[in-house]
Chain A
Amino acid sequence: MLQNIAIGQYVPGQSFLHRADPRSKLLFIVLFATLVFLGNNTITHSILIGFTLFTILLSRLSFTYILKSLKPVWFLILFTVILHIFMTKGGTVYYQWGSFTIEEQGVRQAIFISIRLGLLILFSSLLTLTTSPMDLTEGLERLLRPFGRIGVPVHEIALMMSIALRFIPTLMEETDKIIKAQTARGADFTSGNLVRRAKNLIPIAIPLFISAFRRAEELALAMEARGYRGGVGRTRLNKLQFTWRDVAIAVVAAALTFVIWWWRT
């Protein structure tokens, strides 16, 4: 049923990763991305792989479930691998066919690049798997707050994002209902060519847009009634709090940076 679909990929839980502050997690990801590209030899890559596996264990999520996050991007990884295998030259020639060669550097780069991409994707899906969209929004807002001083409407963007998140399940339910109502009136959404099918979407799209606009209008009125007047003078319910977990993350971050720095060549 639609109402049971989780928003984003979030899987609720109580692990260390679930309970860490989203800000630490976001910052750590930025650092991790840098480290992944700083690492340039077998040792650093092994360390990073080991670290990622450790983090996955820490999340207490099923390994296969997390690996699924690689599914939509395996093609991208494959493509870069092929590109590097054939294009990057240097070192021993493993295979030759006319002017066409596969050389040591190419294989090495291909392996490294695919590891880097894979680790980045695994790590960021760990973030979305262990952080609720609400916390993520709030974490982002907090981190971006300094940009508010240079005129970026951080507050409004954050509010927009959280309202969007709030209305996703409502609108999904609505879509389900409209599809059913039109099906009951004999509409057919599955047969015909592409043009025909696109045309068949009109009886769903129009009611959905109208409903979304009506909801927006009513919501705006309700917000106004509760004294909303833009970001000026507004405070926020302080929910994010750094704990020992975040101190631990900071220590690990420093250690990991040092280790990678030490071993890179």
Chain B
Amino acid sequence: MKPENLLTFSDVTFSYDGEEGQRVKVLKGVDLSIAKGSFVSVLGHNGSGKSTLAKLMNALLLPEGGKILVSGVDTKDGEMIWEIRRHVGMVFQNPDNQIVGATVEDDVAFGLENMGVDPKEMRNRIDEALLSVGMEKYALAQPYRLSGGQKQRVAIAGIMAMRPSVIILDEATAMLDPQGRQEVMHLARRLNREEGITVVNITHFPEEAIDSDRVIVMENGEVLMEGHPAEVFSQVDRLQQAGLDVPFVVRVRHELIAKGYDLPFELHQEELVEHLCRLLLTR
């Protein structure tokens, strides 16, 4: 059975007003689909259009041309806009600038308050959401006292409380330290695996994309590549031309096979080490 598509972009274009009054095209006919329950990474350097992509997914922006469907609903359908935003949660880059509440639980409540959820029901959902991101001990804490990773987890809790189908991480780890980045990525993986939440992770850290179900590479407003991480990362030259990095393991193998050594493509250290040792021992 073909997996159901949660998000579909067909021939989507978008542009904004540039500095000198001309229109700047950020998206030039993007076609893509994101399957329900999958973990998809979107890679691209700054200005490749990947953040615009994110904002189009929950109707913060509307496409100029083409069509975007969220669970079959057109994002241009004004009647459904709130339902779309409930379904498609967004975590932004700067942890400080997306927390509305003066306490953690107030912040988690924000989305629910917007939806008009009954206060009693709200209480349950907040507790549940904080538990699911491991922040239940901080319900009454003031957000500015939290670490960057914790703030992002609070933002995710705010989304989880709204019972979304997809969470979009719009460079949500870019401003975090390695520990915070790990916290957020672990959480996203777990929510994907255990709660069946579809995750779209927009990032420029190739390492974050290794364990995705699919990788989409954006370049200059177009989808440059898409596929399984192994398919995408095996095209090292193409990625590097697009100003993107590849994971360390891929880089090492790439350098070695360039000199004629025979190593199968791998994404993880363990496997590459195994092949390499065999090669070192049997040469």
Contacts and interface: CB of A to CB of B under 8 A. Distances in A.
A224 interface: yes
Chain B interface mostly: helix
Q: Size band of the B side of the interface?
A: 35 or more
Interface stretch (B119-127, B188-196, B269-277): B119-127
B101 A228 contact: no
Contact of A235 (B60, B90, B119, B159): B119
Interface in B144-171: 144-145, 158-159, 162
Contacts of B89: 225-226
A166 B55 CA distance: 25
B80 interface: no
B111 A235 contact: no
Contact of B113 (A214, A218, A237): A237
Interface in A153-170: 162-163, 165-166, 169-170
Contacts of A214: 97
Contacts of B85: 224-227
B143 A166 contact: yes
A169 B92 contact: no
Interface string B126-141: 1000000000000000
Interface stretch (B14-22, B102-110, B221-229, B251-259): B102-110
Contacts of B231: none
Contacts of B162: 226-227
A229 interface: yes
Nearest to B122: A237
Given A3-B144, A166-B143, A219-B98, A227 B86 contact: yes
A31 to B, nearest CB: 28
A122 interface: no
Contact of B97 (A133, A173, A219): A219
B119 A166 contact: no
B119 A237 contact: yes
A185 interface: no
B60 A238 contact: no
A170 B106 contact: no
A236 interface: yes
Interface in A213-255: 214-215, 218-219, 221-229, 233-238
22 contacts: A3-B145, A162-B102, A162-B106, A166-B102, A166-B144, A214-B97, A218-B92, A218-B98, A222-B92, A223-B100, A226-B110, A226-B114, A227-B115, A228-B110, A228-B114, A234-B116, A235-B112, A235-B117, A235-B118, A236-B113, A236-B119, A238-B123
Interface of A: 3, 133-134, 137, 162-163, 165-166, 169-170, 173, 214-215, 218-219, 221-229, 233-238
3 closest A-B pairs (Cβ-Cβ)?
A222-B98, A238-B119, A218-B97
